[in-house]
Structure 1
Amino acid sequence: MTLTYPARVSGSTSERISLKARLKEQGVKYVLASYVDLHGMCKAKMVPLTHLDNMLEGSELFTGAALEGIPQSINDDEVAAYPDRDSATILPWNREVAWFASDLYLQGKPFESCSRNILKRVVQQATEMGFICNLGVETEFFILKDREGGGFSAVSDRDSLVKAAYDVPTLLDNYAVIDQLVTAMNELGWDVYSFDHEDAQGQFEIDFNYSDALTMADRFTFFRLMAKEIARQHGYFASFMPKLAADRTGSGAHYNMSLGDLETGKNLFVEFNDARGCKLSTLGYQFIAGILRHAPAICAVTCPTVNSYKRLVRQGAMSGSTWAPVYICYGGNNRTNMLRIPSAGGRVECRAADISTNLYLGAAMMLAAGLEGIREQLDPGEPHTENMYDCTLDELKVRGIEMLPRTLDEAVTAFAADPLSKTVMGSSMYRAFIDYKLNEWEEYHNHVSDWEIQRYLKFF
């Protein structure tokens, strides 16, 4: 699929003049043409505001081979960053700098392996089918501090609670950081509607309003940058590691998805007279079926680290479970399924994804699978209302329910075998993702851990 040159990236001369004047009036001195590497981490060059016009025309060039997971060699042409002018965001913690989400171009055409371009290709598919892709993400993360002599701990110095979920005193102990972060999000127009202390000490969740998938991916990328910078200002650090300890819950990034009508914006997943009782339309069930079909491959992208698979286990948290799914199934307001339909209906929540995801890539895989389910009119079967953690392997086998990948190696193997992966990523990024992640697994697999030393050094 060919991407046309994005008008919102270039803009007319008058629009550029207006943008520059507005940024200058607000005290901006420098601008960032930002894009992401394989991990979804921000990369950019900083340009004085006086050179904004040139930056908007792709003046900033980058050597792809210098970045992790970008499929370029050192002899390849440089890629150019074309900022999306509608994404202009003044850094709340440094108002002299403005950030732009950018598309990468190679030799005058959209760079196939750019994460943002990959998502835009899938969004274009949805547009051609008459849909708007709506996406909300629940951001879970830790605020921690380094300890003298090494190690880290939660910011709060109160006694550690066995069940720390929704704890008010601990939330108040972290008030300064959380308040600055939430205030910044609201100033940016993200509409935070809830936040709390989560199940593990020092773990938080901030929920804000959904948007179209591309905007949400931009915001999620910026959120991780902003949370780290604001925490650092207070002498702490924000961690987006999926699983910090075996006996504590991990940090998810639940995808909440729906499709809207392209003309009216109406939510097409709502059906209050749903015979299955989940208040979801036939379109929504077809979307679910597509995701379930490709779940193992999707998991490699939404749970992209070795550490991710220490979150996707049934037991291990002090509250009695990890609150993370382990089986490929769906249900109503039942948090033991991979895909949950909240009681209000009208949307689908994927609970498998974790906070280390590159949301551009994760959303692209998830949405592409859902759209395939709609095109092929797939059916996911009946919803599961039982506690899936309690099911035996024999019971699961009878019901035809499979497990999510147990390791990064399993997930990447599934990703490599699924034709959807190459279709979504493009051949170069498909191969680069596999190579990088298999190398990551090999490095981990060959590492001799403290656990092994303690268990085996004097055992035999």
Structure 2
Amino acid sequence: MAAPSLKDLVAEHETKFILALFVDLHGKPCAKLVPVEAVDQLISEGVGFAGYAAGAMGQEPKDPDIMALPDAASFTPIPFIREGLAIVHCDPHVEGKPWGYSPRVILKRLIAQAAEAGYEPHVGAEVEYFLLKRDGDGKLCTADDADTAAQPCYDARGVTRMFGHLSAISEAMNFLGWGNYANDHEDGNGQFEQNFHYADALTTADRVVALRYIISMLAEERGMIATFMPKPFSDRTGSGLHLHISLTAKGKPSFPLGRTKKKDLNGLGLSDTAYHFVGGLLEHASALQGLLAPTVNSYKRTGAVSTTSGASWAPRTATYGGNDRTHYIRVPDEQRVELRGGDGSANPYLAVAAAVGAGLDGIARKLDPGTPGEKRDDAPKLPLTLMDAVEALEADPVVLGVLGAVNPDVGPYYTQLKRQEFYDYHAQVSEWELERYLTAF
């Protein structure tokens, strides 16, 4: 049976307006509101954007329009935001060709490369965020005034006080068929996580983008600010975007050792394919962080030495192990591996594409990840700043090649964007500097 067309989906869900949406390299969601009366034009021509105005899309003011062409399979009705509204994720094109600076286009190319190697990547994502508000002085503070416990993680009372928001998000995910299965208070005051079932790599990346939008809009309706900023408070745990990754080959799981005569000397129940995939993630960990943790603020999270709860839950070294959350890569069971280096600022398309690319390189080169947890003190250290991560990315042809999967100019363009971001941050005089230096000399 043929998949339903966008016109069929619009009619079925009584859609009146479509948010034709894509994200730039920073992860900024860009959209135009298209009335249902123009759906035929949207399907045949797409909708036009001035790429330079949209954001980090590799364009200058003189360049031709980016045309966002809808992917009907991504149709996401969101009547809980506005009646008759839907999101459709789009693939940007320029002069009739997929635009290589588009994160979604990049991920689709990596999925095609995985297929050429005989694999289908599947991903689950843990989306963490804070719910905040501004006090009378305009200062950011926890939205729930009573959320002050030293160890608030899993606090039943904290979840109950935020029941209205959390239940609205849960109902939205289940309405969309995503399979929300848990909603919890995370480790920082005001921090939450809401989980949904894994899917193919592209679908999960689309859902992360949509979920961030949904969480932000529903929080705003309740007078709150939802932030996915990695480390909004220096003394609280940061927000991650942990990725649970698995591969199948012709629909059959590739990671479990299964009933074979081979022995798993590492004891995690994984196949050679899975260990090689982990080897690729570890080999490219420093460069991966340039995409998994792509902001100046990201390194306040991974560099945190203390929080009010007693742990940062952010990896600082490139190690792997079993069901142990102190590792860069956790192996909770034989079905998947959890990559814990990503944070709330990560562009989900680029993060997933980079992880898949690094893992496939590990499989192709049969990289050995070593013994789980081995030489923890001597393990490679992850980058300490965004600049360190940019330099690691520039020196890694595999991960840089992920960015350039469609257009080789994207890698240098991205690293220059991030280098300038670091310089812009470095040019600002902070309160820390004033306190440390104002009368020190």
Per the alignment, residue 141 of structure 1 pairs with 129
Out of 253, 266, 282, the residue aligned to residue 267 of structure 1 is 253
Determine the C-alpha separation between the residues in 2 that align with 1:15 and 1:34: 18
Out of 68, 75, 88, the residue aligned to residue 88 of structure 1 is 75
Determine the C-alpha separation between the residues in 1 that align with 2:148 and 2:374: 33
Gaps of 5+ in 2: none
Q: Shift of residue 416 of structure 1?
A: 1.2
Out of 108, 113, 120, the residue aligned to residue 132 of structure 1 is 120
Native 8 Å contact 2:6 2:75 kept in 1 = no
Native 8 Å contact 2:25 2:101 kept in 1 = no
Amino acid at match of 2:272: T
Per the alignment, residue 430 of structure 1 pairs with 411
Determine the C-alpha separation between the residues in 1 that align with 2:297 and 2:6: 44
Out of 44, 48, 59, the residue aligned to residue 31 of structure 2 is 44
Gaps of 5+ in 1: 1-7
Answer with 65-74 or 293-302: which moved more.
65-74
1:438 match: secondary structure: helix
Native 8 Å contact 2:23 2:103 kept in 1 = yes
Amino acid at match of 1:50: E
Determine the C-alpha separation between the residues in 2 that align with 1:46 and 1:309: 36
Per the alignment, residue 343 of structure 2 pairs with 354
Out of 390, 413, 420, the residue aligned to residue 439 of structure 1 is 420
Where has structure 1 moved over 3 Å in runs of 4 or more? 14-17
Per the alignment, residue 114 of structure 1 pairs with 102
Determine the C-alpha separation between the residues in 2 that align with 1:153 and 1:168: 21
Are 1:54 and 2:41 counterparts? yes
Per the alignment, residue 3 of structure 1 pairs with none
Native 8 Å contact 2:147 2:190 kept in 1 = no
Per the alignment, residue 73 of structure 1 pairs with 60
Per the alignment, residue 381 of structure 2 pairs with 403
Determine the C-alpha separation between the residues in 1 that align with 2:194 and 2:9: 30
Out of 399, 404, 407, the residue aligned to residue 421 of structure 1 is 399
Native 8 Å contact 1:334 1:385 kept in 2 = no
- For residues 368-407 of structure 1, what are the alpha-carbon distances to aligned partners after superposition, in whole Å with 9 as ceiling and x for unaligned? 0101111111111111178x5xx4xxxx1xxxx2100000
Amino acid at match of 1:278: L
Determine the C-alpha separation between the residues in 2 that align with 1:160 and 1:79: 47
Amino acid at match of 1:447: Q
Amino acid at match of 2:43: L
Answer with 221-230 or 312-321: which moved more.
312-321
1:44 match: secondary structure: strand
1:254 match: secondary structure: strand
Per the alignment, residue 458 of structure 1 pairs with 439
Per the alignment, residue 366 of structure 1 pairs with 355
Determine the C-alpha separation between the residues in 2 that align with 1:328 and 1:73: 38
Amino acid at match of 1:405: P
Amino acid at match of 1:366: A
Native 8 Å contact 1:70 1:432 kept in 2 = no
Answer with 406-415 or 62-71: which moved more.
62-71
Q: Shift of residue 412 of structure 1?
A: 0.5
Taking a change above 3 Å as real, the CA distance of residues 16 and 360 of structure 1, as seen in their structure-2 partners, is closer
2:128 match: secondary structure: strand
Taking a change above 3 Å as real, the CA distance of residues 50 and 246 of structure 1, as seen in their structure-2 partners, is same
Amino acid at match of 1:445: H
Native 8 Å contact 2:188 2:309 kept in 1 = no
Taking a change above 3 Å as real, the CA distance of residues 210 and 162 of structure 1, as seen in their structure-2 partners, is same
Per the alignment, residue 15 of structure 1 pairs with 5
Amino acid at match of 1:41: K
Determine the C-alpha separation between the residues in 1 that align with 2:86 and 2:286: 38
Determine the C-alpha separation between the residues in 2 that align with 1:203 and 1:16: 37
Native 8 Å contact 1:69 1:432 kept in 2 = no
Native 8 Å contact 1:271 1:346 kept in 2 = no
Amino acid at match of 1:77: P
